[in-house]
Amino acid sequence: MREGGAVAGAGPHGVLRGTPVVPGVGHGPVVRPGSAPAIPDEPPPDEPTDVLMAGFASAAEAVAQRLEELGRNASGEAADVLAATAGLARDRGLAAFVRKRIDAGSGVSAATAGAVAELSEMFRAAGGLMAERVTDLADVRDRIIARLTGAPEPGVPVPTEPSVLLARDLAPADTAGLDPTLVLAIATELGGPTSHTAIIARQLGIPCVVAVPGLADLPEGDSVLVDGSIGEVLRDPGPDVVRDRTATAAAAARAASTWRGPGSTRDGHPVEVLANVQDGAGARVAALGPVEGVGLFRTELCFLDVDIEPTVEQQAEVYADVLTALGGRKVVIRTLDAGSDKPLPFVTTPDEPNPALGVRGLRIARENPGVLERQLDAIALAARQVGSPVWVMAPMLSTIAEAAVFGSLATERGMVAGAMVEVPSAALQAAGLLRHLDFVSVGTNDLSQYALAADRMSPALSDLTDPWQPALLQLVAMTGAAGRAAGKSVGVCGEAAADPLLGCVLVGLGVRSLSMATSAAAAVGAQLAQVDLAQCEEAAAAVLRCDDPTQAREAARGVLL
């Protein structure tokens, strides 16, 4: 049950509802991923463990190489996700669990399945991004067992005609290899706005809706329409519905294809449209698009595989790569958001009972003050080397005292100082923070998680972490009002910024910049160009009067479309 007691996904005339993550419309027959390979009935092994482990190692390495091959044919975040999944196949912890089960008398396929089940429970308990990797683990399990048993490679079959892909969930390898000319839309029962399915579908430009209950009742071959703009899946839509929805989506796509920036509303109110990046390669892709710069450079993702802290000079080289790619355009660098679902060996506190509420982000400076100061020194060095101004912001900042300290550290190094608003206390005290900072940027992914006490990676709670939740938007409104009063910039760099309609609402709440996946920028910019600031403010006011995300979306559409 969700949203005031309504059955999740219920709707009139064969309409299922979920969370929209990639706008657009796709219509066609249903296709589904193939079944996972069966685990054979294996007699107790009569071969030595080392021999069986050699077979497992060979199959796991073949899977890793296949995932890397798929990654080489992908790009951006899709390539990164596939590379990380290949790492799971080679994980020594997985191999150790398999060996333990073989030693206990299991066959190699059963040992693989049992080991993945054990690891999956550990990942779910860790929460955050680790919990999301459970889908990736299941994909690795199925691929290894298929290699061991000679079964066909699991995954999505290549459709014989343009189709709509429905699934309970999709692994990165399933999604990254999709052909947008054959897979016209995606809908899944699980997942959320930050799931791998959503991230890769957004990059490929495939309309996508996630967290849609009831998809299992739609048989393969049935005609369905997926509307990624409003989060609906329609069974057997009539020709008039298909024509009208397709025409609306096509008009939006045409507007996006011709939008070149800079961002502004129709009446000339400026709104910076920026990109989120994690390294120099992503920055170079962003620089080719219509964005005005980078609103979020996630520095910790450059160091996930580093055992010891990089030197100031080594860090500066990484940061300079991004600054150089943007050629003097705005770059906002977030200091290390380590901990919780992004552990870094050189700063993360081990065995925290609740890491999402523990020592992460700016809080690592409590026990490792030199790490923050050395990173700021490295950013300042990179800025001098490239000759580019730099904005820098702290993640997980919670108090005015923290804002004062961070603001001082950044400004004394010649940088524009800011902070992420991810913790409700930061939104509640935004006016106080801005006495010490030059700007703030709202991270809607984490702010929704903390405001509604719902793990943003939990499929069962995706309705609570929907970026259209009125409670979340009320916190954004408080932050925007503080920015207006102080005459300082408020941005949004969570997944909410990638929703064209919600982007207009955020502007109406006082947001001056929107940062998102590069692939989403044109659609957001084009939507802003079609509305006036007064419409954005009217839509924002209407949304804040709503009780749930569905009402909020409908209210915004009534004003803006």
Residues noted as catalytic: 196, 493
Answer yes or no: are the C-beta atoms of 356 and 125 closer than 8 Å.
no
Q: In 10 A of CB 511, how many CB atoms?
A: 27
How far from 523 is each of 20, 127, 186, 194, 242, CA to CA, in Å? 14, 32, 19, 18, 21
Contact partners, residue 513, CB within 8 Å, separation at least 6: 271, 272, 273, 274, 295, 441, 489, 490, 491, 492
Task: Kindly report whether the peptide bond that precedes residue 389 is cis, defined as omega within 30 degrees of 0.
Answer: no
Answer yes or no: are the C-beta atoms of 200 and 22 closer than 8 Å.
no
User: Hunting for tokens 């912001």 — which residue is that?
Assistant: 393
User: Hunting for tokens 């054979």 — which residue is that?
Assistant: 40
Q: In 10 A of CB 485, how many CB atoms?
A: 12
Contact partners, residue 436, CB within 8 Å, separation at least 6: 400, 403, 404, 406, 407, 408, 417
Answer yes or no: are the C-beta atoms of 516 and 253 closer than 8 Å.
no
How far from 360 is each of 458, 495, 548, CA to CA, in Å? 20, 20, 30
Q: In 10 A of CB 65, how many CB atoms?
A: 13
The β-bridge partners of 330 are 293
Q: Which two tokens stand for residue 10?
A: 């219920």
Q: Measured at the alpha carbon of residue 528, what is the angle toward residues 509 and 292, in degrees to the nearest 5?
A: 95
- With b for 16 or more beta-carbon neighbours within 10 A and e for fewer, the 205-216 pattern comes to bbbbbbbbbbbe
User: Of 130, 165, 141, 111, whose CA–CA distance to 36 is shortest?
Assistant: 141
Helix, strand or coil, per DSSP, at residue 332:
strand
Helix (H) or strand (E) run with residue 235 in it: strand 232-235
Q: What share of the chain is helix, strand, coil (3-state, %, to 5)?
A: 50, 15, 35
